[in-house]
Amino acid sequence: MTISTPEGGGLLINPLFHSNLIQSGGLIGYEPEIRKILMKYTKPGMVAYDIGANVGVFSFLFSSVVGHSGIVYAFEPEEINYQCFEKSLSQYENKNIILDKRAVGKAKSMEEFDRRGGAFSGRLIGHGHYQTTTNIKLVETISIDEVVYQEGYRIPDIMKIDVEGNEGMVLEGMQKLLNKHHPIIICELHTHLGESSDQVIGLLSLYGYTISNINNALADNKLTNLAPEELVGTHIIAMK
């Protein structure tokens, strides 16, 4: 089925796997803080990366804001999500989204991807404390440094990272980029899955980022560094 986006487009979903999007009422109620923070910091002409794009909810938001002079790179390895996204994209008039089926990690490889119980929870197994299921699939992985410096993807101005606990792995694979450029990063921390936030916060701090949770950024209209314990289990925004 197709549901309407706030930007006026149509998003193809599978009602068996994406029922939470149906319940959000045209997506207005789906992660509203993320929608607000992306709209606040994304500008026309920007290059946006949506890492863990799912069916494209925020990729299409990025697309509508960056416009024809900008571009969106959307990464989504989960098969059902990818197929829905691909079909939505085929009917989308604005051709500024590049959909990439690879999972973003530390390097170019083939890795185990745990599809778990739903379309919103798949992730690379990684090396944390995560308890795997038996719903495992081998997927191709790539790092952000490789897509930028070897494959010619444009340098990102803003990035949304939501990979169910492997955010630190994504950042490890983009340290060359972080050393040379400083995109705005909106990132979810998944400490409820047993993952530590130390790796994410440590890497961003190493490259000079100011880190805040998005609610503070929306309320105060500025970023203020918070202590690590204040950033646990939340969405963060990092800027330099």
Question: For the CA atoms of 142, 148, 149, 152, what is the dihedral angle to 10 degrees?
Answer: 110
List the beta bridge partners of residue 98.
73
Position 136 in a domain? yes
Position 89 in a domain? yes
Q: Would you say the pTM of this structure is higher than 0.95? A: no
Position 6 in a domain? no
Position 24 in a domain? no
Question: For the CA atoms of 22, 99, 134, 126, what is the dihedral angle to 10 degrees?
Answer: -120
Position 20 in a domain? no
CB 167 within 8 A of CB 190: yes
In tens digits, the chain (240 residues) has pLDDT values of: 888 887 777 888 887 777 777 765 567 778 889 999 999 999 999 999 999 999 999 999 999 999 999 999 999 999 989 999 999 999 888 899 999 999 999 999 998 888 775 666 677 876 655 677 777 889 999 999 999 999 999 999 999 999 987 898 999 999 999 999 999 999 988 765 556 688 898 999 999 999 988 888 888 766 767 666 666 667 889 998
CB atoms inside a 10 Å sphere around CB 15: 10
Position 2 in a domain? no
Domain count across the chain: 1
Give the CATH number for residue 51: 3.40.50.150
221 lies in which domain range?
31-239
**H-helix or E-strand spanning residue 10:** strand 10-12
